Amino acid sequence: MSTTVSVICLAYNHEKYIRKTLEGFVAQKTNFSVEYIVHDDASTDSTASIIQEFEEKYPDLIKPIYQKENQYSKGVAIIRNLQMQVQGKYIAFCEGDDYWIDEYKLQKQVAFMEQHPECTLTIHNGFRLNDRTGQLKPLNPYKVKGFLSMGEVLVESGGMTPTASMVIKSDVWKKMPVDVFKVPEVGDRPRRLYLATQGSVYYFDDIMCVYRTDNMNSFGGTIMHDNEKSKKLLDNMISFFDRFNKYTDFKYTDAIELAKSKEYYLYYVREKMYSEAAKTYYYRENTTKKEKIKDFIKWRTPKPVLDRINLCIDKIMHLRKSITKGN
């Protein structure tokens, strides 16, 4: 039987998280075949043994790759290599520190793509989980469900689109020109934009995954504490947007300039250069007065204090929900 979906999962020193990731995989309910390619990049903790445990229990589902030497440190394009090996008509992603929380996630996305052959990518909403504080918040990358314009895919005016939300057409992705879309340390954004040039993109507002932040085993976690990496990310993204503008014959220049402004905004926020962040075109044009007041308070409150306040608010909201249910 041919494979309908291949799921790519990259893991490295994820012993704290990988079990929840794998549990989300095997809980999926589908009327089609799925394979889970779990790539352990020579972890030095017990990640590999946990993967092996699931491999033995679910041999028809879990297809692990155990590296003896770390491939990432050698500069190997792991995702690119796996992309050429997988058998699925569609490819989904979930890194080893993220996880799915809807057992019908794959079924929903694939069923939609089967009904809409022009659709090259589906994505959905998710939670952002702060690994340090335990705070859980919706990402809300877009305001409403539906097909997205190129401008919307470019700018992501809400929160970020989680990797674990993506289901893509395999044959389309395999034709992606690497010289245009390769961005060091970043795969998702260029991948989504390429797929948007080849067909339509659909967004589900269902919350179906959890994306971890402040995890030091991930690139997203390290750039928050590494000025050099943060600046390099900015430079790489600006360079990519210029290439993408040329690739699309300058049809989306205005949206691309806004996306570039957003990259500067994100960089200034990471570097705590808040006055510079507030000056960016993206911030001035896409932030409400209410949001600006919130930012004014947030940017001037020490992070440990802010974390404690947010944690207290979460506890109060949880308590209110419990009381409401009890009544």
β 119-130/62-66 pair status: unpaired
pTM over 0.85: yes
Rg for the chain, CA atoms, rounded: 20
Percent of the chain with pLDDT over 90: 70
CATH 3.90.550.10 in the chain is located at 5-219
Give the CA count within 13 Å in the CB-facing half-sphere of 149: 9
- Report the 10 Å Cβ neighbour count for 116: 14
Query: Which pLDDT tens digits describe the chain residue by residue (327 residues)?
Result: 689 999 999 999 999 999 999 999 999 999 999 999 999 999 999 999 999 999 999 999 999 999 999 999 998 889 888 988 899 999 999 999 999 999 999 999 999 999 999 999 999 999 999 988 888 999 999 989 999 999 999 998 777 899 999 999 999 999 999 889 988 878 789 999 999 999 999 999 999 999 998 765 554 555 556 888 899 999 999 999 999 999 999 999 999 999 999 999 999 999 999 999 999 999 998 888 888 888 878 787 776 766 676 677 667 766 666 666 665
User: And the tokens for 57?
Assistant: 């229990």
Convert the pLDDT of each residue in 164-200 to its tens digit.
Answer: 999 999 999 999 998 899 888 787 899 999 999 999 9
CB 94 within 8 A of CB 25: yes
Residue for token digits 């209110």? 320
CA dist 161 and 5 (Å) reads 20
E strand intervals along the chain: 5-11, 34-40, 62-66, 90-93, 99-100, 119-130, 136-138, 146-148, 167-169, 200-213
Q: For the structural domain made of 5-219, what CATH number should be given?
A: 3.90.550.10
β 90-93/99-100 pair status: unpaired
CB 314 within 8 A of CB 307: no
